[in-house]
């Protein structure tokens, strides 16, 4: 069938070359599993450089900090595990319906701190928890928050859209 090679070393070298070529064809894939809070703020990309989440007996507080800006989402503590693979377990909180369901955004500038908050009795946003377990929280958010200082020269409104909360680690706060 195949002619016999007079030099068996050629076969070994050829086999080694084929093995090296096949081994070098592999693709290295890296996964980014860092916690993230990001979104579109006033039509521009916004991303927190640090993300934390704390739980108290009644509240889940998710915080993203970016340079001189802080985003805080406060919602009631979920009473159950939320499975990211089962959409029927997701929990949606409508912001502005009570004091324990709100978004706050602060900006530190030369004049001090400007505070924006979702109003009460003004349903104007939501937080959806799509994963909640003993170690992390994930989800999405969107909201309009209003400047709490009516006399401030800053914008009256901050708008967040397409917000993402991804695998933010949970810390328990003792009270």
Q: Binning pLDDT at 50, 70 and 90, where does residue 26 land?
A: low
Domain ranges of the chain: 36-172
24-48: average pLDDT: 79
The pLDDT value recorded for residue 46 is 97
Give how far Cα 135 sits from Cα of 8, 75, 92, 163, Å: 59, 17, 20, 21
The pLDDT value recorded for residue 50 is 95
Nearest by Cα to 160 from 129, 112, 136, 127:
127
The pLDDT value recorded for residue 142 is 97
35-50: average pLDDT: 95
pLDDT in tens, 101-159: 999 999 998 888 999 999 777 778 999 999 999 899 999 999 999 999 877 777 889 99
Q: Binning pLDDT at 50, 70 and 90, where does residue 69 land?
A: very high
pLDDT in tens, 155-174: 889 999 999 999 999 998 76
The pLDDT value recorded for residue 125 is 95
Burial environment of residue 132 by CB neighbours within 10 A (0 to 12, 13 to 18, 19 or more): buried
58-85: average pLDDT: 95
């Amino acid at each position: 069938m195949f002619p016999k090679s007079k030099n068996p070393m050629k076969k070994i070298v050829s086999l080694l070359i084929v093995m090296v070529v096949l081994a070098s064809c592999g693709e290295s894939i890296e996964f980014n599993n860092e916690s993230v809070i990001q979104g579109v703020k006033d039509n521009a990309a916004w991303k927190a450089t640090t993300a934390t989440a704390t739980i108290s007996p009644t509240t889940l507080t998710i915080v993203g900090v970016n340079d001189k800006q802080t985003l805080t989402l406060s919602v009631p503590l979920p009473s159950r595990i939320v499975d990211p693979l089962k959409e029927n377990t997701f929990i949606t909180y409508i912001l502005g319906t009570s004091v324990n369901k709100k978004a706050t955004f602060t900006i530190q500038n030369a004049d001090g701190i400007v505070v924006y908050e979702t109003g009460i009795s003004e349903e104007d946003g939501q937080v959806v928890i799509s994963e909640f377990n003993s170690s992390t929280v994930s989800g999405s958010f969107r909201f309009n928050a209003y400047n709490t200082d009516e006399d401030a020269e800053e914008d009256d409104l901050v708008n967040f859209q397409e917000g993402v909360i991804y695998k933010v680690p949970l810390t328990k706060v003792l009270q």
